[in-house]
Structure 1
Amino acid sequence: MNLEQHPYVRPSQVIESMRDNGYKNTAYALAELIDNSIQAGAKVVRFVCFEAYEQINSTSRRRIQKIAILDDGYGMDEKTLYMSLEFGASKNKEDPEGMGKFGMGLPNSSISQCKKTEVWSWIEGNQPFYTYLDVDKIKSGEQEAIPYPVTRKLDSKLADAYKGAIPTSGTVIAWSELDRLHWKTSATLLKHTQNLIGRMYRYMLQHKNENKRVRIVFENYLYNHSTQSYELEESVNFKANDPMYLMQGTVVEEMKDFPDDFKGQSLFDINADENLSKKDITLSDGTKGSYIIRTSSIKKDFANKMTEQTNAKIGSTDVGRQFASNIGLSIIRSGRELDLKRDFKIKDNYQKDRYIGVEIHFSPSLDKFFGVTNNKQSATKIQPPNLPEIALQEDVDESKVIEVIKQSDPDYALLLQCLSDIEKAFEVYSELDKKKISYGRDKKSEAPDNTDLATVRATNAEQQRANEHPTAGDEDKPNPEDMKEVLSEKNYNEIELDQLIKDVIENNIIVKFDERDGPQTMLFDISIIQGFTLIQINTEHNFYRNFMSKATERDQMLLKLCLAAWGRMEKEAPTEAVRRRYELSRQQWGVMLDGYLSDEEDY
């Protein structure tokens, strides 16, 4: 029997599901493109936004129209460029010590943020080759194969972004039809990428070898309708963001309360460095590699200086909040941070662990050993080791568990030893007590009289949850401009909206409840803006009218906390697709609940 051959995968059927590929946010997706530029030998990587005013309802708002990554790397010939948009085919994965992994970074990250990706690349002054990926064309079946590269000049606005000096070789990647950006304006995109990208690439931004040093520049162009052209508004060089605070000239020096005396100095003491902690390992399949664990702790004289100039604890200063944003284990692969694992070891409600630093370095040869994901966002096997539980399962003394495991699974024994080494590294926390660090006076804050008890309780619960299970946005203070943009479509007049924003900002509210008319079948709506969550409870819903409005004050508070827990669940969703499923479930449940309660006039 002759059967028609079928492909393993039909692009038109799977492309939409492939877009939900697990990038934490736009910054992590952009990092894939920056990785490619650096691996291609780029000295300068430009991260460029093209922005214009759009009419949204009755308001004109700025929106990013296009994002581009421009570099001066080696460039690609037409064959290599053709492969670059194929999932799993990039040549970067062939470099055993490079940042590439599965050859999926360019197409994978791009479709997670936009519908159209265009790529130009050129070598030694030749005309650029061009190809593209169009999600809509793939979905419709119009484009089942990658268009073979053709020669094509750079678009004028992209060429202008090189400041009139297009390099001899280079690559430009442009994203348009941006339907999945986490941040819609250049200001918010810069705000949320500045610290993250500065931390990811800190060792490249401040490489000891000047020839290997990389400059990453953010630029924003705003469309001028009068001249019908894009004009440069802002240019910012990314600075290193070092959670070890051993580097000089990092982002922390830009904090308004940073003491001038310490500019250009390291703020922490190194307690364990690569010369003491490097360990070589050989796996059972012959793979060789090594890992390095480094630790640091705050200098006593820097802590003293900070307490001298504040009436509260160091943690309440801008510098202290910057320290808090970098808590955890920094996981470094091939000189680039994969992840900052906030909850590896210390869970301190007062966040004193912000005054220590712990990081592990390893090469790509140990990717499988550490469980590095294909989007290079984490190393799944780097988890706190539960030696007591393993010892119980193996029926041996805890001190002997690694030796026993070594007999049956030597690679796992090596991993357990490494994880134990990391856990021991967190003992640098005791250095804070030895140095007799003073954190300043405790300035107690009480909830203002106009803040309801449910808001206070939910805000406290959210803070506790963020300490134990941190997620993206926890450390971000809500920006009034962003709040106004998101909430302007949430049934507020201008006076109400201004008052709400003022209340949230002035009283450091993280979770707020608001009862107001809404769509009859939706019980509650959730808006998450950076670190703030607004929960609007619909007073027109049958559940509210027949039960919640008649409940005691205490029971109303408990019901609101239930809704706040749902809000946190949506915030912690691992991917955008999961978050949307949570949102749809919330809406459908509201409809169903309204229907179940509609047969009776009064309960």
Structure 2
Amino acid sequence: MASNPHAIVPAHLAVQAMRDNGYKNAAYAIAELMDNAIQAGATQVELLCGEKKKFVNQRGRSCIHQIAVLDNGCGMDTDVLRLALQFGNGTHLDEDKHTGIGKFGMGLPSSSVSQCQKVDVWSWQNGVENALHTYLDLEEIKQQRLTEVPEPEFKPIPEVWRRVGKSFDKTGTLVVWSRLDRCIWKTGSAIIDNSELIIGRMYRKFLESGQVSIRMLAFDLDNPGTVIVPPKEALPNDPGYLIAKTSCPAPFDNKPMFQPWEGDSEYEWTYPIEFRGKSHEVKVRFSYAKEEARAGQNPGSLPHGQHAAKNVGISIVRAGRELELDQTLVIKYDPTERWWGIEVEFPPSLDDLFGVTNNKQSARNFAELVKFDIESLLKDGTTISQLKEEFQENEDPRGPLLDIIQKIDSQLNIIRRLLKAQTKGTRSGNKRHTGPVAEQVATAATEERKKEGHVGQSDRDESKPKEIRQTEITETLRDQGVTETQAKDLAAKTINDGLKYTFAEADLETAAFFSVKPRGGAIIVTLNTSHPAYDKLVEVMEKDVDNVDAETLRTRLSNSLEGLKLLLMAWARYEDEQPDGRRRQAAQDTRVDWGRIARQFLELEE
């Protein structure tokens, strides 16, 4: 057959170019076929990997030879089957009617040619024995012997697929890839191992709800009874770790590893968007690790921690199906990043706003906007509303996404500080110390001051029952941002050991370096971990010293001394800025009184 010599893009060259459509790997290409199956109402989908023995230097090894995806969806008639193999065509192109996970009419042909040179499709609507068949063959297209999708015809499904597939129903579709020349994984085992995590994450909502099950199997094509990878069902892989039964290793295989972030009363934040004259909803969900997930030494090296390390980023979900795990905001060098989860879910009607690509692997507009430093754009008093108006004036469609990005950025900062507090522990009882711990010394010094007639606000609560005092201390610590477990442990130790003081660490929304709260007969001192003085004076000294060289220790001590000097100079400047009169005198008196009490506390330690 002769091609049109005046075609803008010769068909055989266009198809060759489409082989480079940008699928990240075979798992993402396979997902396109699963999209079609789910769109067709399938409740069962199978990934079947057929291997054959290949001899290299007289040594035989089993390699992937064909890949098939089988489903029990509604099947296709002649017209639809032919459309399905046309690039850019399909039955889900009407934007007004579109609500499902398909849309672009590119999935089947483009994903197939990205991995193989030939794709065969069988589909049936009235029993497997009535299956229609058609195909695409890149060699025939290259030689211009195939210029259009062949007319579907009745053709029996090869017996090998009938033997290994379990989802052959009254209706369904079977897609088979052969002459695999671009699949980076060379065995059925590698394909299934790598696909299981990705596919489980992409379709986690469908798998969790039971809407669809995905079976995976690798076998010998020459001897279908020989199983290479036993049949396995894909489990949900939730990067937000809020689903109970998932592929996460024990002890979190049957219970959520994370908890919803409830900083705004609920973990799901719904944002209404007006786009093209219609109202749409975008949902953003936040989660973070439970304390038990991070308990013990180096939890990131445990199986559940390693699993979380493979799911770092913002999960972008379209119509219940994940497009990608965007890592733009991830701090790559920080292992703590594995312990938070963010999910952004939007309907297909917002595809153009989010910039969904044809291969459904990313939301381009969203990803590009995440990279922007929005705070730098809000300088000189510019508001988000003004910035959105500027986007609108420039006909930039991304304006409505600004609020969402800013929300994610601010919320993520809060969650990161909370995660930092989870592992900080408390300041009492868990540090090596050659003498009495500071809390014990301060308690003894306070008793001496009480004998001298000095009365504190906290003293009046010492007569309360221990249970009430412990509850009050626990609640105060928790309100300060200390985790539940740490708050309970610290309160119990304070009461049981008869301590007057207790130290904690938390991210405080104040400019102060520390807070002082008299509660339950005790004085709670909470260090503000977000204050620069914390890094200079506290954290630098808390770090492990067992395997640190002398020069590093000297640097730490020097930094700590510099931090102390800066604090004292800051106080000096505070006094210097006070106007002459009562305020300046009050500041000077406060410095003297504090110094007098500090001397008493420090002398007692000696």
Give 1:48's aligned amino acid: L
Alpha-carbon spacing, 1:399–1:143, altered in 2? closer, same or farther (3 Å)? closer
- Asked if structure 2 preserves the Cα contact closer than 8 Å seen for 1:405 and 1:412, the reply is no
SS at match of 2:120: strand
Q: 1:278 aligns with which of 270, 276, 299?
A: 270
Q: Give the equivalent residue in structure 2 for 1:248.
A: 244
Q: Give the equivalent residue in structure 1 for 2:163.
A: 160
**Whole-Å separation in 1 of the counterparts to 2:8 and 2:388:** 45
**Whole-Å separation in 2 of the counterparts to 1:410 and 1:52:** 52
**Whole-Å separation in 1 of the counterparts to 2:12 and 2:388:** 52
2:259 corresponds to 1:269: yes
**Whole-Å separation in 1 of the counterparts to 2:424 and 2:41:** 43
- Asked if structure 1 preserves the Cα contact closer than 8 Å seen for 2:354 and 2:398, the reply is no
- Asked if structure 1 preserves the Cα contact closer than 8 Å seen for 2:260 and 2:267, the reply is no
1:405 Cα deviation from its structure 2 partner: 2.2
1:265 Cα deviation from its structure 2 partner: 1.4
**Whole-Å separation in 2 of the counterparts to 1:275 and 1:381:** 25
Q: Give the equivalent residue in structure 2 for 1:300.
A: 291
Q: Give the equivalent residue in structure 1 for 2:74.
A: 74
SS at match of 2:180: coil
Q: Give the equivalent residue in structure 2 for 1:173.
A: 175
Q: How many aligned residue pairs are there?
A: 413
1:274 Cα deviation from its structure 2 partner: 7.5
1:402 Cα deviation from its structure 2 partner: 2.7
Deviations 1:445-483 (A, max 9, x none): xxxxxxxxxxxxxxxxxxxxxxxxxxxxxxxxxxxxxxx
Give 2:287's aligned amino acid: S
The answer to which of 52-61 and 191-200 deviates more is 52-61
Q: Give the equivalent residue in structure 2 for 1:360.
A: 344
**Whole-Å separation in 1 of the counterparts to 2:267 and 2:421:** 23
Give 1:361's aligned amino acid: E
How many percent of aligned residue pairs carry the same amino acid?
34
- Asked if structure 2 preserves the Cα contact closer than 8 Å seen for 1:287 and 1:365, the reply is no
1:90 Cα deviation from its structure 2 partner: 1.0
**Whole-Å separation in 2 of the counterparts to 1:101 and 1:422:** 28
Q: Give the equivalent residue in structure 2 for 1:239.
A: 235
- Asked if structure 2 preserves the Cα contact closer than 8 Å seen for 1:387 and 1:398, the reply is no
2:329 corresponds to 1:338: no
Alpha-carbon spacing, 1:68–1:402, altered in 2? closer, same or farther (3 Å)? same
1:37 Cα deviation from its structure 2 partner: 0.4
Q: Give the equivalent residue in structure 2 for 1:151.
A: 154
- Larger RCO of the pair (alpha carbons < 8 Å, separation 6+): 1
SS at match of 1:248: coil
1:263 Cα deviation from its structure 2 partner: 4.7
Deviations 1:151-210 (A, max 9, x none): 1111111111234x7300000000000011010101111121111111111111001xx4
Alpha-carbon spacing, 1:417–1:181, altered in 2? closer, same or farther (3 Å)? same
Q: What pairs up with 1:85-100 in 2 under 5 angstroms? A: 85-94=85-94, 96-100=98-102
- Asked if structure 1 preserves the Cα contact closer than 8 Å seen for 2:65 and 2:180, the reply is yes
1:400 Cα deviation from its structure 2 partner: 5.8
Alpha-carbon spacing, 1:85–1:274, altered in 2? closer, same or farther (3 Å)? farther
- Asked if structure 1 preserves the Cα contact closer than 8 Å seen for 2:78 and 2:152, the reply is yes
Q: Give the equivalent residue in structure 1 for 2:438.
A: none
Q: Give the equivalent residue in structure 2 for 1:130.
A: 133
Q: Give the equivalent residue in structure 2 for 1:516.
A: none
**Whole-Å separation in 2 of the counterparts to 1:46 and 1:356:** 32
- Asked if structure 2 preserves the Cα contact closer than 8 Å seen for 1:39 and 1:92, the reply is no
- Asked if structure 2 preserves the Cα contact closer than 8 Å seen for 1:157 and 1:230, the reply is no
Task: Name structure 2 gaps, 5 residues minimum.
Answer: 431-606
- Asked if structure 1 preserves the Cα contact closer than 8 Å seen for 2:257 and 2:290, the reply is yes
Q: Give the equivalent residue in structure 2 for 1:288.
A: 279
**Whole-Å separation in 2 of the counterparts to 1:322 and 1:429:** 19
**Whole-Å separation in 1 of the counterparts to 2:36 and 2:388:** 41
Alpha-carbon spacing, 1:169–1:359, altered in 2? closer, same or farther (3 Å)? same
Q: Give the equivalent residue in structure 1 for 2:108.
A: 106
Deviations 1:49-106 (A, max 9, x none): 1111100233211111110000000000111001100011111334511111210100
Alpha-carbon spacing, 1:143–1:279, altered in 2? closer, same or farther (3 Å)? same
Alpha-carbon spacing, 1:29–1:263, altered in 2? closer, same or farther (3 Å)? closer
- Asked if structure 2 preserves the Cα contact closer than 8 Å seen for 1:36 and 1:92, the reply is no
1:229 Cα deviation from its structure 2 partner: 5.0
SS at match of 1:24: coil
1:413 Cα deviation from its structure 2 partner: 2.5
SS at match of 2:324: strand
Deviations 1:108-142 (A, max 9, x none): 00000000000000003260110000000000111
Alpha-carbon spacing, 1:19–1:263, altered in 2? closer, same or farther (3 Å)? closer
Q: Give the equivalent residue in structure 2 for 1:320.
A: 305
Give 1:293's aligned amino acid: V
What TM-score results when the alignment is normalised by the length of structure 1?
0.65
Alpha-carbon spacing, 1:388–1:266, altered in 2? closer, same or farther (3 Å)? closer
Alpha-carbon spacing, 1:75–1:410, altered in 2? closer, same or farther (3 Å)? same
Q: Give the equivalent residue in structure 2 for 1:372.
A: 356
Over the aligned positions, Cα root-mean-square deviation in angstroms equals 2.4
Give 1:424's aligned amino acid: S
SS at match of 2:398: helix
Alpha-carbon spacing, 1:334–1:71, altered in 2? closer, same or farther (3 Å)? same
Task: Name structure 1 gaps, 5 residues minimum.
Answer: 442-603
- Asked if structure 2 preserves the Cα contact closer than 8 Å seen for 1:278 and 1:293, the reply is yes
**Whole-Å separation in 2 of the counterparts to 1:223 and 1:171:** 20
